[in-house]
Amino acid sequence: SHLDLSGKCLQVFCKLRRKNRNSHEHYLNKQLLDNLLSFLSRSHSEFQEKTTEWTCKMKFREIPTAALVLGVNVTDHDLTFRGLSDVLQDSITPYIALLEAKDCPGIKNLMQKLMGQLMNCDIDVDTLEDEDCVQVSQNRIRCSMSSLISWYESVTKKTDSETPSKKRSSSSRHWKSPPVVVIFKDMESFTTKVLQDFIVISSQHILELPLVLIFGIATSPMIIHRLLPHSVSSLLCIELFQSISCKEHLSTIIDKLLLTSRFPFKLGEKVLQVLINIFLYHDFSVQNFIKGFQLCIVEHFYSQPLSVLCCQLVDVKKRVISLSHEQCENIRRLPSFRRYVEKQEAGKQIALLTNDTFLKEDTESLLKDLHVYHENYVSILRCLHVFTSSLPKYPLGKQIRELHCACLENRVWETEEYESSLQLARMLNKTDLVTMLQQCVEILTSSSGKQFDKTVEKLKEFLTQFQNLEAEASQERDVSVLSQKELQKKTDLYHLQKTLLELKESRRSKKLTKFEVLRFEVVDYMDSLVRKYLVPADDRTLHEIVYFNAANVLRGHLNAAPRTALHTALNNPHWYLKNQALKCDGGSISNKAPDICIVYKLHLECGRLINLVDWLEAFSTVVTAAEEPNAVAASSDQMDDIIQYPFSFLSTVSELELLGFIKPSKQKTDHVARLTWGGC
Amino acid sequence: RDNNYNIKLQRSSFMCMLQRQQFSLPSIFIYGHTSSGKTYVMQTLLTTLQLPHVFVNCVEYFTSRLLLEEILIQLQSYSSDTEQASPVHCDTFNDFVRLFKQAVASRELQDQTLYIVLDRAEQLREMEANILPAFLRLQELTDRNVTVVLLSEIVWELFRPNVGCFEPFTMYFPDYSIGHLQKILSQNHPPEYSADFYSAYINILLGVFYMVCRDLKELRHLAALNFSKYCEPVVRGEANERDTRKLWKNIEPHLKKAMQTVYLREISSSQWERLQHDGGEPGQLKGLSAHSHVELPYYSKFLLIAAYLASYNPVRTDKRFFLKHHGKIRKTNFMKKHEKTSNHLLGPKPFPLDRLLAILYSIVDNRVAPTANIFSQITSLVTLQLLSMVGQNDQLDGPRYKCTVSLDFIRAILFSLMWDFRGT
């Protein structure tokens, strides 16, 4: 069963990964890639077409450069660049080099790296005919631009002279002389000198070697001006490309992964909050978010024995039937199930707790219910989001993920924010309301749940009522105009005052207009939908099977606190060693603890500078303190102790230095300086 | 293409120097500002007079080995024998001298002066110490009829090694005056238009750009970019070629815009051309500097603010700014005299990691755990060049940082946090 379990886990895992990758390629940087491709194909073809024109002859031949602003989430860039180079390889050029700053401390290394990558890619293109390439690589290639140019000439000539063969098809996608694309992955980290030299060199050979540069920029395009002086940047023809912001990226990922009923596995509110917090507070990395999500999957399938049942709906029956007695007992132990049992009548309670087959039948239907609940939940959540995202000040959050978290956390209709957003929704104007209703109808009709037929009908009814209102509105207007005219007739001040008061009175007591009544109805109907479908998952029976809720475990894995851990280890060794003898209360120092713990604890009491002699004395006091009861032995070994302690003391002190807590000080002899402050 | 004025100026001296038969000067040093025609003059002279020469750019051949080998390869290609040149290996200058003698001896050029031109010669200073002095007395070392010509943008005084060396014959190429520029630029007018018409255009162009740019290449590039706009009224038939005032009115604001955008590479020349073609306003396209906003994670913003405060505030003031009960501080003694000058003028000061974290904890509302994520954020701020590490110290030894962002940047971050800096 364990094997089966891990197999299932893997299956879900793979499916998710595939999905991630697809979503990456298809949705995210499509626009960016398209723009970039058109830029690249444009850049050199212009010159090839009209070299005879006067302007082209006169114009300085600049190196086409794409400044690609990708945002500060550096960990995600790899994926983007990989996607980019794949796309380029497919449609523009086989000659692509990816350079990283850490590989290129000098221009020499840069050229080596560049040539290595370009000449390898040549081998990749025609693997059959690698005889020449091997020869080339056997010779020690001079890493200079001229050898690169001769390589380029030979390569392009070869593809030209080639007789039409099966290889032709692969190379014909590119043009006669495809550009050589050099990608600088992390522009910020390159040194100015290397970049300047490379640009100056390549601009001299731009006619022989059609080069295109791509600068991967994490911060802002201003960095180009900071790195390159005008004399160098004037050799470039820089165009700016901006990828979508990582927050949007996250929204799409959440939309595709979490707000769908396609995957049986779900994240609990706290876990989702941990992942989102790491994203927003720390790294902006979608990649890390997905990794965290994958970790959740692994952790859930590993730690929850009942996760066997976390599967697609079609498999549920089979799995439930094959449950062992032990697993049934596990189900009975689930808190949500116990709550469920308590609500049942006495006879059923007994059956559920004693009869395995009865339990299995019930479990199956419960799991189906859970599935249906989730399907409905997503659709109604989206409808509610349509409303809340257009309210002023967004009391329930602008993003759907905030709304999702709020709904998962507790009954959303009991919160203040929900109350205030209902208030605001009751003040929406007609056009907004109508478009929102239309959107909701769209969402509900496209959802897979079949329960919404009635709801859609009801919403459509509202829409027709709104349309009818328009016709009636014109009549109403006539009435109001009449009263206005009456007002104008009377010029007497007293009468005027009187009529105005009357008008005001009548307006206050006036019944709500038909539109207002309808608006109340719509909002109340939405409210009823929310109360019916957006029940928090914790209230559902058997939610433990599908929802992963161990936020603490996840936090421990993803948001490690090395300093705190080290402090705990040294301050409270019992925490990790689990030795009863080490258990100590409060600030007292036990002499049973390892030497380093004693030395560490003593150093916490010191100031910025620590006197080594005092420290040693304190140390030996602590160590000998407990031995005093059997003083006879102590007195005889006293000579030994004095000799022994400095050794253990000094070795622990150097251990602390290695851990980064202290360092030798030059200010005072026999003193060390503390490097940490506070508790940790 | 250019009828170069520097040739005219210095024709006589050049002609004396470039001897065909006799031994000539061992080394010549030519310097002058960017695009004063040094390379161009040398190249045209050597090719038109058909003198044997080797032309090498020192930036391109960035190590001494590459440079020497390149010279030898070019020499080989001179030799008349058709046999395929064997790959040259030349690691030291000693080898070079030996191989050079061989290469020259194998050819019938022996009686002619060979010219080795080293363009961007300032790079030689960064190679091994013996390269530059050896090149200067190559004639003596090889005992062959060879002249080394160094081209550079900086003066000879900056080259001279402190141990002294052979002094080359130095020659200065003066900058082009506005008149020269005008004449050179007007020479290649487009075939469809008359020379006068183009020359008038160049006049206007120089009127706008001469103040900021005297680079011939750049000016020619700008002239080509904007010429179509200048012709517009003529093409549309609104003005004829002599209608200078109308043409000036049309082009002048356009050129001024070009100076702020395309000249600074804020927008690219191809974008500029497309804009001209579509007749759009340059305001539509945002330049590179317009995208200065950087989106950062929440704690990175605070880290950066804390780093900024640590960099520009003296340590003594921390207690006062970030502690709630800091006690009384006497105003008179509080600021020392040298601290009264604005700290922004003095630039950022380094601060230790601990101080950064201490300030961070006091400016963030809720408790921040010192997690690995926080520390890695500091490192990633360093890789993004928003902070910089001072001194390559061991990480354990209390690293020190500097904040490298400007006040405007911090203001933008503060604005995004909706936390008024001055209010608190």
Residues from chain A that touch B192, judged by Cβ atoms under 8 A, are: 54
- Write out the DSSP string of B382-401: HHTTSEEEES---GGG--EE
Contact present, A251 and B321 (Cβ < 8 Å) = no
CA A23 to chain centre: 14
Whole-number pLDDT of residue A92: 80
pLDDT in tens, B317-351: 888 788 776 666 655 555 566 666 777 888 899 99
Residues from chain B that touch A676, judged by Cβ atoms under 8 A, are: 354
Which CATH number is associated with domain B298-328+342-423? 1.10.10.10
Average pLDDT of B264-271?
81
Point out the least confidently predicted range of A10-24, B360-374, B406-420. A10-24
Residues with Cβ within 8 Å of A151's Cβ and at least 6 positions away in sequence, in order, are A115, A118, A119, A122, A136
Whole-number pLDDT of residue A134: 43
Cα–Cα nearest to B251, from B268, B276, B288, B220: B276
- Write out the DSSP string of A278-331: IIIIII--HHHHHHHHHHHHHHHHHH-GGGGG-S-HHHHHHHHHT--HHHHHHH
CA distance B300 to A219: 13
B224, B373, B386 ranked by CB distance to A282: nearest: B373
Residues with Cβ within 8 Å of B1's Cβ and at least 6 positions away in sequence, in order, are B187, B188
Contact present, A576 and A593 (Cβ < 8 Å) = no
Whole-number pLDDT of residue B9: 57
**Could you identify the residue written with the tokens 């190429």?**
B173
Contact present, A602 and A618 (Cβ < 8 Å) = yes
CA distance A346 to A40: 75
Residues of chain A with pLDDT under 70: 1-29, 46-53, 55-56, 121-141, 159-176, 448-450, 473-491, 506-512, 584-587, 626-644, 677-680
Q: Partners of B53 in the beta sheet?
A: B115
- Binary contact (B291, A242; C-beta < 8 A): yes
* Helices and strands per DSSP (H, E), number in chain A: 33, 10
Please check whether residue B365 touches A, CB under 8 A. Answer: no
What band does B310 get if pLDDT is binned at 50, 70 and 90?
very high
Distance from CA of A219 to the nearest CA of B (A): 6
Task: Annotate A90-115 with b (16+ C-beta within 10 A) or e (fewer).
Answer: eebbbbbbbbbbeebeebbebbebbb
Contact present, A591 and A628 (Cβ < 8 Å) = no
Please check whether residue B269 touches A, CB under 8 A. Answer: yes
Count CB-CB contacts under 10 A for residue A14. Answer: 10
Whole-number pLDDT of residue A123: 47
pTM: 0.81
- Write out the DSSP string of A456-503: HHHHHHHHHHHHHHHHHHHHHHHHHHHHHHHHHH---HHHHHHHHHHH
Q: Partners of A217 in the beta sheet?
A: A69
Residues from chain B that touch A563, judged by Cβ atoms under 8 A, are: 370
B62, B375, B377 ranked by CB distance to A107: nearest: B62
Rg of chain A (C-alpha set): 36
Cα–Cα nearest to B229, from B209, B254, B256: B254
A143, A240, A676 ranked by CB distance to B291: nearest: A240
CA distance A267 to A130: 51
What band does B216 get if pLDDT is binned at 50, 70 and 90?
confident
pLDDT of B305 higher than 90:
yes
Return the residue of A nearest to B374 by Cα: A282
- The residue type of A387 is F
Please check whether residue B274 touches A, CB under 8 A. Answer: no
Domain ranges of chain B: 4-172, 178-288, 298-328+342-423
Average pLDDT of B88-97?
86
Residues from chain A that touch B359, judged by Cβ atoms under 8 A, are: none
Whole-number pLDDT of residue B110: 62
Contact present, A518 and A466 (Cβ < 8 Å) = yes
Whole-number pLDDT of residue B308: 94
pLDDT in tens, B28-43: 899 988 878 888 888 8
pLDDT of B147 higher than 70:
yes
Choosing among 1.20.1250.20, 3.40.50.300, 3.30.565.10, 3.30.2350.10, the CATH entry for B4-172 is 3.40.50.300
pLDDT of B15 higher than 80:
no
Point out the least confidently predicted range of A46-50, B3-7, B218-222. B3-7
A174 is written with which tokens?
A: 């590119």
Cα–Cα nearest to A196, from B342, B60, B409: B60
CA B226 to chain centre: 24
Distance from CA of A233 to the nearest CA of B (A): 7
Whole-number pLDDT of residue A395: 83
